[in-house]
Amino acid sequence: MKNGISGRTRVCGIFGCPIGHSFSPAMHNAAFTALSLDFVYVPFLVESENLRAAVEAVKALGLAGVNVTIPHKQAVMPLLDEVTESAALIGAVNTIVNQKGYLLGDNTDGNGFLRALEEETRLTPTGKTVFILGAGGAARAVAIQLALAGVKKVYLSNRSRERAEQLAALITKKTKAVAEVVSWPDGKEEDWRLTGALRSCDLVVQTTPIGMYPDNSLTLQLPEGIFRPGLVACDLVYNPVETLFLKSARQAGATPMNGLGMLLYQGALSFEQWTGVPAPVEAMKKALIASVYKLTG
Ligand code: NAP
DSSP calls for 25-83: HHHHHHHHHHTT-SEEEEEEE--GGGHHHHHHHHHHTT-SEEEE-TT-TTTTGGGSSEE
DSSP three-state, residue 233:
strand
Tell me if 147 is assigned to some domain. Answer: yes
DSSP three-state, residue 131:
strand
> Known catalytic residues?
73
User: Do 30 and 73 fall into the same domain?
Assistant: yes
- Averaged pLDDT score across all residues of the chain: 96
State mean pLDDT over 259-274: 98
- CA–CA distance, 210 with 150 (Å, rounded to integer): 28
Tell me if 49 is assigned to some domain. Answer: yes
Name 15's bridge partners.
44, 68
Q: CB of 143 within 8 A of CB of 90?
A: no
296 confidence band (pLDDT: 50, 70, 90): low
Q: How far is the CA of 290 from the centre of ligand 1 (A)?
A: 24
The structural domain count of the chain equals 2
Tell me the whole-structure pTM to 2 decimals: 0.96
Q: How far is the CA of 234 from the centre of ligand 1 (A)?
A: 14
Query: Ligand 1 pocket: which of 166, 207, 235, 285 to mutate (most atoms <8 Å of CB)?
Result: 207
CATH of the domain at 223: 3.40.50.720
What local confidence, expressed as pLDDT, does residue 297 receive? 54
Ligand 1 atom nearest residue 138's Cα: 26
User: Do 253 and 120 fall into the same domain?
Assistant: yes
What local confidence, expressed as pLDDT, does residue 295 receive? 63
User: Do 250 and 133 fall into the same domain?
Assistant: yes
Query: Residue 84 phi/psi, 5° resolution?
Result: -70, 165
Please report the DSSP string for 78-107 in residue order: GGSSEE-HHHHHHT---EEEEETTEEEEE-
CATH of the domain at 277: 3.40.50.10860
Biggest CA-to-CA distance, the chain: 65
What local confidence, expressed as pLDDT, does residue 294 receive? 83
In this model, does residue 252 exceed pLDDT 60? yes
What local confidence, expressed as pLDDT, does residue 190 receive? 80
User: Do 47 and 119 fall into the same domain?
Assistant: no
What local confidence, expressed as pLDDT, does residue 45 receive? 98
- CA–CA distance, 14 with 46 (Å, rounded to integer): 9
Tell me if 132 is assigned to some domain. Answer: yes
pLDDT per position as a tens digit, 199-210: 999 999 999 999
Tell me if 2 is assigned to some domain. Answer: no
163 lines ligand 1 (CB under 6 A): yes
CA-nearest residue for atom 44, ligand 1, is: 138
263 lines ligand 1 (CB under 6 A): yes
Tell me if 40 is assigned to some domain. Answer: yes
90 confidence band (pLDDT: 50, 70, 90): very high
User: Do 169 and 292 fall into the same domain?
Assistant: no
User: Do 250 and 281 fall into the same domain?
Assistant: no
Taking CA atoms, 10 is separated from 15, 30, 90, 247, 274, in Å, by: 16, 15, 29, 43, 10
User: Do 65 and 146 fall into the same domain?
Assistant: no
- How large a percentage of the chain has pLDDT more than 70? 98
240 lines ligand 1 (CB under 6 A): no
User: Do 125 and 220 fall into the same domain?
Assistant: yes
**Nearest Cα residue to 79 out of 124, 46, 120:** 46
User: Do 236 and 249 fall into the same domain?
Assistant: yes
User: Do 94 and 218 fall into the same domain?
Assistant: no
pLDDT per position as a tens digit, 41-77: 999 999 999 999 999 999 999 999 999 999 999 999 9
Tell me if 4 is assigned to some domain. Answer: no
User: Do 49 and 118 fall into the same domain?
Assistant: no
158 lines ligand 1 (CB under 6 A): yes
232 lines ligand 1 (CB under 6 A): no
In which domain, by residue range, is 167 found?
Answer: 110-258
In this model, does residue 256 exceed pLDDT 80? yes
> Going edge to edge, which strands form the sheet with 178-181?
178-181, 153-157, 129-133, 203-206, 232-235, 255-257
Tell me if 3 is assigned to some domain. Answer: no
CA-nearest residue for atom 12, ligand 1, is: 208
Ligand 1 atom nearest residue 208's Cα: 7
Q: How far is the CA of 179 from the centre of ligand 1 (A)?
A: 19
261 lines ligand 1 (CB under 6 A): no
In this model, does residue 1 exceed pLDDT 90? no
31 lines ligand 1 (CB under 6 A): no
User: Do 189 and 248 fall into the same domain?
Assistant: yes
Ligand 1 atom nearest residue 209's Cα: 32
pLDDT per position as a tens digit, 148-195: 999 999 999 999 999 999 999 999 999 999 999 999 998 877 889 999
Tell me if 1 is assigned to some domain. Answer: no
Per-residue buried b or exposed e for 4-17, using 16+ beta carbons within 10 Å of the residue's own CB: eeeeeebbbbbbbb
- CA–CA distance, 242 with 250 (Å, rounded to integer): 10
In this model, does residue 4 exceed pLDDT 70? yes
DSSP three-state, residue 267:
helix
